[in-house]
Amino acid sequence: MLNRFARAGVTAVLALAGAAAAAPAPILWRHGVINLKSDAGFVMMPTQHDFAAKRGMRIEAVQVKDGALALKALISGEVDSIEGGAGEGIIAAMRGADVKTVGCHWPGLPHALFVRGNIDKIEGLKGKTIATSAPGSLPDNMMRALLGNYGISASAVRFTAIGSDADRYRALTAGIVDATVVSSEYLPVAPPGIKILIAGRDVIPDYMRLCLNVIGKTIALRRADAVKFLATESEGISYAVTHRDETIRLAQELSGAKPDDPRPAFVYDETVKHRAIDPDLPLPMRKLEWMQAEFVKTGALPRAGDLHAIVEPTLRQEALDLVRTRR
């Protein structure tokens, strides 16, 4: 026969088991992210701790190679949201895709134009081969905007589409291309002869990096879940910008960086210094309008459209209110 303490222990275990059985399973939200690099600590922090669990959610990050594939995954329903190039979202929506921009958590542009050899001014790119990514992608759009900013026709250079930042950087260092647009994270490891010619944020400050995109149908069917997801993103990013060592360790672990790789720390410090990431998930319409105008000039869009029809600001506000009430 069980003694009084044993019986009490069995009762407690059964009660806990019953509570666990009765607890609803967390809501799954699949979020598409570009292949994890040295900024992975910021990207993945919302999946850490209990930021999602306390809202009854489980965020599953789905890695894709580039922004074009991320958009395809979103439109096909393989993921519920993506963090994609701000420009890619505008272009897709203006071409009729049911893509809504719900917040721009990476308003800063860490990308830069890297060159090799003796190229020391942008005019020196004429006749050269430049690696970007798929047409309409962030690297492609940024390069065309940079050329336009200096009055250089896109036809004066040779574009070649090479998928990821890592692939484009390898093509540059191997001498396959003369220039490329990649994250500035490669600066600390660049070999002699490879340099940054132009930092994007210095010449096209209104060009934003990443926004959060959700399909309009998903918002209609899962609005409460979308709000909780955005609240989780906001809280995770806010935590990351105030916890340097943990965020760098997470980036090292998820990107596969070696302990002596300087890039995770470099990216963290650059991101915080330049306020390139924003936990308030802003929707700066002036910048979005500037970007759309650039796409019309470069031919990525045939004409400008109504940006207010492709953004959804109320989700973001509800998410920020939810974060504040939980603190």
Instruction: List per-residue pLDDT tens for the chain, 327 residues long.
Output: 334 333 334 344 444 445 445 568 999 999 999 989 999 999 999 999 999 999 999 999 999 988 889 999 999 999 999 998 899 999 999 999 999 999 999 999 999 999 999 999 999 999 999 999 888 788 888 899 899 989 999 999 999 999 788 999 999 999 999 999 999 999 999 999 999 999 999 988 999 999 999 999 999 999 999 999 999 999 999 999 999 999 999 999 999 999 999 999 999 999 999 999 999 999 999 999 999 998 998 888 999 999 999 999 999 999 999 999 865
DSSP characters over 186-228? GGGGPPTTEEEEEEHHHH-TT---EEEEEEHHHHHH-HHHHHH
Are 216 and 193 in the same domain?
no
Are 226 and 92 in the same domain?
yes
Are 75 and 118 in the same domain?
no
Are 116 and 88 in the same domain?
no
> What's the CA gap between 60 and 73, in Å, rounded?
14
Does 275 map to a domain?
yes
Are 98 and 214 in the same domain?
yes
Does 262 map to a domain?
yes
User: Tokens representing 63?
Assistant: 């890695």
Does 12 map to a domain?
no
- pLDDT score of 5: 32
Are 81 and 120 in the same domain?
no
Are 312 and 221 in the same domain?
yes
Choose one of 186, 203, 220: the last residue of a domain.
203
Domain encompassing residue 160: 111-203
Is 212 in contact with 70 (CB distance < 8 Å)?
no
What number of other Cβ atoms are within 10 A of residue 62's Cβ? 14
CA 231, 232, 233, 234 dihedral sign is positive
- The number of distinct structural domains making up the chain is 2
> What's the CA gap between 16 and 256, in Å, rounded?
39
Residue 196, strand partner residues: 114
Are 100 and 141 in the same domain?
no
- pLDDT score of 203: 87
Are 97 and 118 in the same domain?
no
Distances in Å between the alpha carbon of 95 and those of 67, 286, 303? 16, 20, 10
- pLDDT score of 213: 98
Choose one of 168, 203, 238: the last residue of a domain.
203
Residue 61, strand partner residues: 31
- pLDDT score of 66: 84
Are 174 and 319 in the same domain?
no
Residue 111, strand partner residues: 183
Are 116 and 130 in the same domain?
yes
- pLDDT score of 18: 52
What number of other Cβ atoms are within 10 A of residue 118's Cβ? 7
CATH at residue 80: 3.40.190.10
Choose one of 138, 173, 203: the last residue of a domain.
203
- pLDDT score of 6: 37
